[in-house]
Amino acid sequence: MRVIVKNEGIVLRKTDFRTTSIILTLYTKDFGKIKGVVKGVRGSRPVSFGLPEIFTLNEIVFYQSKRDICYISHCDLIDYFKTIRNNFDSSIYASYAVDIFDAVTGMNQPNIGLFNLLCSYLQALNTDLNQRLATTVFEIKLLTLAGIGPRLDSCASCGGSVNENEHVFSIINGGLVCEKCSGRDSSRIKLSKKNVHFLRNTAESNWEDSLKVQNASDIGLEKMLKNFVNYHLQPGIKSAEFLNLVEKI
């Protein structure tokens, strides 16, 4: 027996299905990531509710099913994040965020912390907040909540202690490495004490407090995080290429 449920969800991906329908991938508040078919929203006579867009927050009604794809019967828009869509740079950042969010989350694994993080990030982009800072904070918190955050307490290669005066980060090993291990690591990147402190504090603090830190991150840290994401989330994030172009302007 199928159960009808109502829940909030953010659209991560949208794919055309047959001639009149679409398949949505959403991260919901109480059920985690789900896939659902929405029938009759394309074509000459679409259904009454609007066509859901990427990174919109919606209230959906769907039929729970043991199958991989459920049936979404209704979708009411809660937040369109209009300011993001009216700004080219912000829309690229938002697209990148939902791409990496989709890559690190599994199906049907609810996590209210992840849902609140994505909502907070989109709300931040929808204001005049520093886009690059918000994105750096989002990346760190997302990777941490997903259980694949950078290892900072000991050498990510051998498990030994790391040099507190010279921090070397290994993209391949996913964390700080000791002097011995860093010498043979082709993916090593040097980080400042300030950057390592920012990584640790951001992983542990709440969203609002993380955004209050001024001039905490720099291009070196941003580059490290992008390389980390691209390496560990193979085959890579398509929108990352567009984001790199935006940040070079």
pTM above 0.85, yes or no: yes
Give the pLDDT confidence score for residue 243 in this predicted structure.
74
Rounded to whole angstroms, what are the CA distances from 81 to 9, 54, 85, 211?
14, 10, 7, 20
Any idea where the domains of the chain sit in the sequence? Answer: 3-79, 112-150+186-248
Q: What type of residue sits at position 114?
A: L
Give me the pLDDT at residue 248, please: 61
Tokens of 114: 């992840």
pLDDT of residue 33: 97
Amino acid 249: pLDDT: 44
Tens digit of pLDDT at every position of the chain (249 positions): 578 999 999 999 999 888 788 899 999 999 999 999 988 766 644 444 556 899 999 999 999 877 788 999 988 999 999 999 999 999 999 999 999 999 999 999 999 999 999 999 999 999 977 888 899 999 999 999 999 999 999 999 999 999 877 899 999 999 999 989 998 888 999 998 889 989 999 999 999 988 887 655 677 888 889 889 888 876 657 677 667 666 664
What Rg value do the Cα atoms of the chain yield, rounded?
A: 20
Q: Coil, strand or helix: which one is 140?
A: helix
The pLDDT, as a whole number, for residue 25 is: 96
Q: Are 90 and 239 in contact (CB under 8 A)?
A: no
Q: How many CB atoms lie within 10 A of CB 35?
A: 18
Which architecture characterizes domain 3-79 according to CATH?
Beta Barrel (2.40)
Spatial distance between the Cα atoms of 52 and 54, rounded to a whole number of angstroms:
7
Cα 28 from Cα 7, distance rounded (Å) = 7
Strand intervals (E) in 42-99: 57-64, 70-79
